[in-house]
Structure 1
Amino acid sequence: MKKIKFPSAQTILLLIAAMVTLLTWVVPAGKYNQLSYDKETKMFNIKNGEASKTVAGTTKTLDSLGIKIPIEKFTSGDIWKPINIPNTYEEVDAKPQGFFDLVKSPIKGIIAGADIIFLVLFIGGLIGLMNETGAFDAGISWLAIKLKGKEYILIILVTALISVGGTTFGLAEETIAFYPILIPVFLAAKYDAMVALASIYVGSCIGTMCSTTNPFSAIIASNAAGINWTSGLNTRFVAYVLGTLICIIYIMRYAKKVKNDASQSIIYDQKEEIENLFKNNTESNLQLTTRLRVILFIFLLCFVVMIYGVAKLEWWFLEMTTVFFVGSILIGFVARIKEAKFIETFVKGAGELLSVAIIIGIARGITVIMDDGMISDTMLYYASHITEGMNKGLFANVLFVIYGGLSFFIPSSSGMAVLTMPIMSPLADTVGIGRETVVDCYQYGMGLFSFISPTGLILASLAIVKVGYDKWLKFVLPLVFILFLFSIVMLTISVYLT
């Protein structure tokens, strides 16, 4: 009997899109009124469906709307997205999505996600040029010699550094750039691609799950909850340290098994395919010449500049993509690649990541269907009523699970924060706990589900590594269960001991 093959990432997302389309026929359409602040006029704008009105940008207006957020959070720009207004949810005329809406959603998603898609394509072009110069092969050969016998340091360094990026400034989408660079290094260290994938993706997930100074989750969620972002910071820092330690130990245990016996790898049947794909060459005859060192320096500098720009200069996808574009030109110049060859190599490299770009577009299209069908706010409205009448310990843990479920429908961390916090944070007042606990529930729920969420980044990441979703689940689900129990313990302690 022929073995049934697990569907590709694209097929999985299209099936999810079809399921969400059906949900728009079952789940009532509904909408909260939304409040936004105009810095130029210093006025609030209240949007109710298609209608809108302008009101005074004052604390009195916020009080009248039942929004317990200091006016300074709006005037300073800490809250820059429209927020939902509590107690304004109402059902609206149903907008069920049909077959043509379903088939158009990937196209709409690609258009909506053009910023990150172009980043991915330009990274692909840069990687193509690096392969053409031979700098990767020479660099990996040199690194393999230096790390011989101490390869485990790779796992600790990569996981820890990326988790630091995640907890401080929300390093997530940017990690897509790291896979083509780091996978050959891990393969040279006699690990499998799963170890590289885990070190990068798990590092990012645990960092964002236990965000401390991340402006796209911890800070914006605290602002939207009407509290200072430092409230609960100590607890989050402890959770971050312990959570990262758990993840590193988990990855290292798997990595040790694979290093001792390659057949223990979950992706052993793909060993040769992946090694050929990433051109793993630990015995390269290429010498790390001065020119190749300069090329590697420019390549690494692109990432340093990108990270600094995102963390300090408020850069986003346009600026990040520009950095890789400029880096590509500089590398082509130093390597003395002829103009025609440069274009050919760059385009071919971008084409290698085209499937990743399409996956990102299809995933974004699912959000488009939910927004057009107006079911996201309905999910939020019913979720906010589940916790009524609970004691504070149960409340925190149930809310943590609810946020995990909601993150399927609202995969954006900043979007989730501004849409849900004005609704969810007042619930903490009713059970006698601090609103920082609701922020923790939001972070743990979203962060934990991001390890496996098909509407998040994991399918795009798997597409780069050529690993199936089923194999990723086999690897990561035990870790997700451990972190699930860890989150419950942390929330319970924070509720009763703070």
Structure 2
Amino acid sequence: MSDNKKNTAEKQTKKKFSFPTAFTVLFIILVIAAGLTYIVPAGLYSNLEYVPGNDSFLVKSSTGGSEMIPATQEKLDELNVKIDLRKFRDGSIKKPIAIPGTYQKIKQSPQGPLDIIMAPIEGVMDTVDIMVFVLILGGIIGIINKSGAFDAGIAFLSKKTEGKEFVLVILVSGLIAVGGTTFGLAEETIALYPILMPIFLANGYDAIVAIAAIYLGSSVGTMFSTVNPFSVVIASDAAGIAFTEGIVFRLVSLILAMIITLLYIYWYSKKIKKDPQNSLVYEDYEKIEKRFLEDYDPDEVKRFNWRRVLMLVVFLGAFPVMIWGVVTGKFWFAEMSGLFLVVAFLTAFLSGFSEKKAVNTFVEGAADLIGVALIIGVARSINIVMDNGMISDTLLFYTSSIVEGMSGGLFASVQMVLFSFLGFFVPSSSGLAVLSMPIMAPLADTVNISRDIVVTAYNWGQGWMSFITPTGLVLATLEMVGVTYDKWLKFVLPLMGIIGVFSIIMLVIQTMV
């Protein structure tokens, strides 16, 4: 065989076995989810929703009827909903709550080809607030990058961390984990990749280390949440307990899990420092470097001037404001988009660009993240198909039946596994909490363990699955950085196994103390 034919054959072989894009992975899962609506029986729990206008509950029956009842603690007790009425009145619980013991099978609602086609459209429409946030961030990053402010920042941080580069990983992961455990920092980290990727690359790390520092910091932080209002607080409220129950144990577990995670990242980073060919993305290094360091020349580095300093101060200063807004409940994605739109105007003004150049640069930056924004919308389509197929409640009913009558340690461990399974199909932490806690939490009483253990199992189970679940944020993250899903799996699955075993051991210990 001639060299040309041999090279062509090798290229064809590589192309044949290349991993599909994030969109293809999501579409495959979407088709599987639609297929499940033909196999899994359709069913619903009755639910109740607080109506603040007339201080009453709207009870919707699984069979389709509805009625208004007075909002009293006695009515909640009659329905076996062990939640303090004040939690509804103060707005802690806003979503409909499933009523235990009311599951009923209903007429099958299979999702056909037309439903599969329409689901991504509905998913995009349903997540437009997040997509707008992502696109505005992309526009801002485009302006700041074009101005040379990022280059100046990279040079400064590279110089400061020279010889002690892993300190950067510890700082980034640690700070993000704090955000994750306190207010569920997750989607907001999308803004950090274009900022931090060049810094990690300039310090000799690969894209996997950068993703691990940011994504795993967020994932471990949210998994081992302590006061996160969108997971542990709302789950505790729905379980009828104070969120402070078990908080010390969760804090200790968070610290230990972060140590394990950082040691794992350090082990991998030492491997690639020793030999860059050990990198899981070695074959893509030139492409990734071009994407993030194309205009960066360490020999002709851009220096800080007042414009670049002010641009970075304005951009970075928006994050504490965003955190304050999310924690206090004053901000969600619409408000965050408004905040960063103001930042976009300010950075465009400070850049010194002409009006035409500033607008075009903003549009080009937003265009770079269109793929990321669309992935977020398409991922939502999987949940839409399952909800329309009426199988989400059925999966909860089956999983809750599995753990009845188990011993304490086994009960907690199996619950974590079951919540991991449910978390794959219901990636929303608050959505899974209000759906599952009224059903799962009372089961703890039957095996004589505290309900806070069920909250911990829910939090750890769903958080553990977020390391890899395509219906969550991981595919959008990988698309932004230019790393395929299979390479992320090769990196994270061993760590996921270690964290999973660690979590089960800690859950068993929690049932004993």
TM superposition score category, shorter chain reference: over 0.9
- Residues 115 and 317 of structure 1 are in contact (CA less than 8 Å); yes or no, is this contact kept in structure 2? yes
1:395 aligns with 2:408: no
**Secondary structure in 2 matching 1:178:** helix
1:409 aligns with 2:425: yes
Q: Which of residues 130, 135, 157 is equivalent to 1:143?
A: 157
Structural mapping, 1:326-475, within 5 Å: 326-475=342-491
Q: For residue 193 of structure 1, what is the aligned residue in structure 2?
A: 207
In 1: Cα distance, 2:183 partner to 2:299 partner: 38
Where does the alignment leave 5 or more consecutive residues of structure 1 unmatched? none
Q: For residue 292 of structure 1, what is the aligned residue in structure 2?
A: 308
Structural mapping, 1:222-371, within 5 Å: 222-279=236-293, 281=296, 282-371=298-387
Q: For residue 34 of structure 2, what is the aligned residue in structure 1?
A: 21
Q: For residue 123 of structure 1, what is the aligned residue in structure 2?
A: 137
Tell me how large the CA RMSD over aligned residues is. 1.0
Structural mapping, 1:59-98, within 5 Å: 59-98=73-112
In 2: Cα distance, 1:411 partner to 1:48 partner: 25
Q: CA deviation at 1:143?
A: 1.5
1:38 aligns with 2:51: yes
Q: For residue 148 of structure 2, what is the aligned residue in structure 1?
A: 134
- Residues 138 and 284 of structure 1 are in contact (CA less than 8 Å); yes or no, is this contact kept in structure 2? no
Q: Provide, for residues 455-479 of structure 1, a one-character-per-residue CA deviation record: whole Å limited to 9, x for no partner.
A: 1100000000010000000000010
In 2: Cα distance, 1:316 partner to 1:366 partner: 23
Q: Which of residues 47, 50, 54 is equivalent to 2:60?
A: 47
Moved more, 283-292 or 112-121: 283-292
AA in 2 matched with 1:423: I
AA in 1 matched with 2:242: N
- Residues 144 and 351 of structure 2 are in contact (CA less than 8 Å); yes or no, is this contact kept in structure 1? no
**When the two structures are superposed, what TM-score results if normalisation uses the length of structure 2?**
0.95
AA in 1 matched with 2:28: L
**Secondary structure in 2 matching 1:278:** helix
1:218 aligns with 2:232: yes
Q: CA deviation at 1:313?
A: 4.6
In 2: Cα distance, 1:259 partner to 1:375 partner: 48
Q: Provide, for residues 371-423 of structure 1, a one-character-per-residue CA deviation record: whole Å limited to 9, x for no partner.
A: 11110000001110001221111111111100000011111000000010000
AA in 2 matched with 1:43: S
**Secondary structure in 2 matching 1:314:** coil
Q: CA deviation at 1:233?
A: 0.7
AA in 2 matched with 1:427: L
Q: Provide, for residues 291-315 of structure 1, a one-character-per-residue CA deviation record: whole Å limited to 9, x for no partner.
A: 2111111111122221222123531
**When the two structures are superposed, what TM-score results if normalisation uses the length of structure 1?**
0.98
In 2: Cα distance, 1:355 partner to 1:393 partner: 44
Q: Provide, for residues 163-222 of structure 1, a one-character-per-residue CA deviation record: whole Å limited to 9, x for no partner.
A: 000000110111111111110011111111111100000000000110000000110000
* Corresponding pairs, count: 497
Q: Provide, for residues 272-322 of structure 1, a one-character-per-residue CA deviation record: whole Å limited to 9, x for no partner.
A: 111110126234432111221111111111222212221235311011111
- Residues 141 and 283 of structure 1 are in contact (CA less than 8 Å); yes or no, is this contact kept in structure 2? no
Q: Provide, for residues 202-261 of structure 1, a one-character-per-residue CA deviation record: whole Å limited to 9, x for no partner.
A: 000000110000000110000000001100111101111101111111111111221222
- Residues 141 and 284 of structure 1 are in contact (CA less than 8 Å); yes or no, is this contact kept in structure 2? no
- Residues 17 and 102 of structure 1 are in contact (CA less than 8 Å); yes or no, is this contact kept in structure 2? yes
**Secondary structure in 2 matching 1:54:** strand
**Secondary structure in 1 matching 2:415:** helix
Q: For residue 222 of structure 2, what is the aligned residue in structure 1?
A: 208
Q: Which of residues 152, 176, 195 is equivalent to 1:181?
A: 195
Moved more, 288-297 or 432-441: 288-297
AA in 2 matched with 1:164: V
Moved more, 330-339 or 200-209: 330-339
**Secondary structure in 2 matching 1:53:** strand
Q: Provide, for residues 24-68 of structure 1, a one-character-per-residue CA deviation record: whole Å limited to 9, x for no partner.
A: 011111111111111221111101254321101001100110111
- Residues 177 and 218 of structure 2 are in contact (CA less than 8 Å); yes or no, is this contact kept in structure 1? yes
Q: For residue 6 of structure 2, what is the aligned residue in structure 1?
A: none
In 2: Cα distance, 1:125 partner to 1:303 partner: 16
Moved more, 172-181 or 280-289: 280-289
Q: CA deviation at 1:345?
A: 1.0
Moved more, 264-273 or 251-260: 251-260
Q: For residue 5 of structure 1, what is the aligned residue in structure 2?
A: 18
In 1: Cα distance, 2:237 partner to 2:329 partner: 20
Q: Provide, for residues 123-179 of structure 1, a one-character-per-residue CA deviation record: whole Å limited to 9, x for no partner.
A: 111111111111111111122112111111100000000000000011011111111
**Secondary structure in 1 matching 2:54:** coil
In 1: Cα distance, 2:506 partner to 2:335 partner: 38
